[in-house]
Amino acid sequence: MRSKIVAGNWKMNNNSKETKTLVKGIRKSIKKLPLENTRVLVAPTFVNLMSAIKRIKKSKVEVVAQNMHQENNGAFTGEVSADMLKSIGVKSVIIGHSERRSLFGETDEVLALKVTKAINEGLEVIFCFGEQLEDRKSNNHFTVVKNQLEKGLFHIEANAWSQIVLAYEPVWAIGTGETASPEQAQEMHAFIRNLLQEKYHTSVADNTSILYGGSVKPSNAEEIFSKQDVDGGLIGGASLNVKDFTDIIKAI
Ligand code: 13P
């Protein structure tokens, strides 16, 4: 059975003190929630991973990284390897976020290498993808998403899918306040699940969690999460506030 997941992507927010306060707050506020088959993830910046990990011990919160490099080590100034993440206890990593693609030039080809590396290192990958506004306006959103998955992800073997979580994030809905309607999210998630069945197997399609991301907030989370193929959310802005993030977790 696939898990329900609420993941907070903190992006380039929170200094050391703010990270500690936020982790402590989330840890406390979800302590008594019945989180059966539901995972709660937070993704601080690299510098704050270690302190976050220290503070989630014996709690239901998991700490994930926002990115990693595809090589083992070497002359890659400013980069962080899978081994470095693992050595401090990180078990999952976000790969392919739209900001990495658009602001830092990460191509499908580079993302495919990162995915391979993370899988081989035993890390779980939260793979992000999604269309631009013009793709949707021109009715190309299904083609764009299919392409991103084929180029970045579909090279992996069926048995590696237990290490993959998908996050559909339409770029036009990220940080804009504009959310895909629950119907638009469901339509795309069902399309993706169907692709997994065609390319791999029913078991891969049934067991892979597909998250929605893009302006999820307490006021719209429940309706989006109620859709059959939406298994949770990747939350940006609203994950920086304990109450909002907790309310979104409650919605699932
Ligand atoms: P917002 O929730 O702020 O729109 O961000 C979504 C996102 O990019 C999560 O990765």
169 catalytically annotated: yes
Beta bridge partner(s), residue 9: 43
Contact, 128 vs 98, CB < 8 A? Answer: yes
In whole angstroms, give the CA distance from residue 49 to residue 51.
6
- By CB atoms closer than 10 A (0-12, 13-18, 19+), residue 247 is middle
Q: Is the CB of 42 under 6 A from ligand 1?
A: no
- Count CA atoms within 13 Å of residue 215 on its CB side: 15
* DSSP single-letter state for residue 6: E
Amino acid at site 44: P
User: How far, CA to CA in Å, does 97 sit from each of 27, 29, 106?
Assistant: 25, 28, 9
CA of 201 to the centre of ligand 1 (A): 30
CA of 74 to the centre of ligand 1 (A): 32
Residues 6+ positions from 249 with CB-CB distance below 8 Å: 6, 30, 33, 35, 38, 40
Question: How far apart are the two ends of the chain, measured CA to CA in Å?
Answer: 16
Ligand 1 atom with the shortest distance to the CA of 174: 4
pTM of the model: 0.97
pLDDT at 58: 87
Dump the DSSP string for 98-130. Answer: HHHHHHS---HHHHHHHHHHHHHTT-EEEEEE-
Contact, 193 vs 201, CB < 8 A? Answer: no
79 catalytically annotated: no
CA of 192 to the centre of ligand 1 (A): 20
* DSSP single-letter state for residue 194: H
pLDDT at 124: 98
Contact, 17 vs 50, CB < 8 A? Answer: no
Tally helices (H) and strands (E) across the chain: 11, 8
Contact, 82 vs 117, CB < 8 A? Answer: yes
Q: Is the CB of 8 under 6 A from ligand 1?
A: no
pLDDT at 175: 87
- Token pair recorded at residue 100: 């990495």
Residue with tokens 């069926």: 158
pLDDT at 178: 83
pLDDT at 1: 87
Q: Is the CB of 232 under 6 A from ligand 1?
A: no
**Pocket perturbation via mutation, ligand 1, pick of 64, 216, 239, 245 by most ligand atoms within 8 A of CB:** 216
**Per-residue pLDDT tens listing for the chain (252 residues):** 899 999 999 999 999 999 999 999 999 999 999 999 999 999 999 999 999 999 999 899 999 999 999 999 999 999 999 999 999 999 999 999 999 999 999 999 999 999 999 999 999 999 999 999 999 999 999 999 999 999 999 999 999 999 999 999 999 999 888 889 999 999 999 999 999 999 999 999 999 999 999 999 999 999 999 999 999 999 999 999 999 999 999 999
- Token pair recorded at residue 240: 């920086």
pLDDT at 191: 98
Ligand 1 atom with the shortest distance to the CA of 98: 8
